[in-house]
Structures are given as C-alpha cells and as structure tokens.
Amino acid sequence: MIKRFIAGAVCPRCAAMDKIRAWTNEQGKQVRDCVACGFNEALNDPPAPDLPANRMEARKQQADSAKAAVKEQPIKFYKLPKRDPKPGS
C-alpha cells in the first residue's frame, strides 16, 4: 500500500495545506489522513455511472437524446397580402 500526498489538499479539521495523504486500505476503501493533526477518514465511493463502452457509443447516445428532445412540428406558409401601390407613383 502506497500512501501519497495530495497536492493542494486542505485538511478539514486543522486547515493545513499539503498535509493530506491518500491510499486504498485492505478492504478496498479510499482512506485519507492528515499528518499534521491526525485526522483520518475512510471515503465511501458512490456507485460508478453506466459509461458507454467507447466514444462512438457516447456520441450515439447524445444524438439519440437530442432527437428525443426535438419535437417535430409542421410548418405553415401564408401568402403575403398584396401591397397597395404608393400614392403618387
């Protein structure tokens, strides 16, 4: 298990910058601790979203969702009324 310092991270307890280490423990959970104050926390990872297998699949999903968002409507054309000639011409 390799513990790595996280650049720019601030401790939630003591607010010390660049003192947070992160690693994965034996149970597979992400853990972080502060070397300045001893703060220790195991992070619960949210479930991973369903990602497309590749970029082409992602584009297809985006195109399908864009098509679903557009509602088709007929276009109506109207004839323009005839304009009266200008007086004096």
pLDDT at position 44 is: 79
Q: DSSP characters for 22-78?
A: EEE-TTS-EEEEETTT--EEEEPPPPPP---SSHHHHHHHHHHHHHHHPPP------
Q: Which pLDDT does position 4 carry in this prediction?
A: 94
Residue 16: predicted pLDDT: 93
The per-residue pLDDT for 53 is 65
Instruction: Match 């149970």 to its residue by tokens.
Output: 27
Return averaged pLDDT per consecutive 10 residues of the chain, 89 residues in all.
Answer: 92 94 89 95 74 71 74 84 74
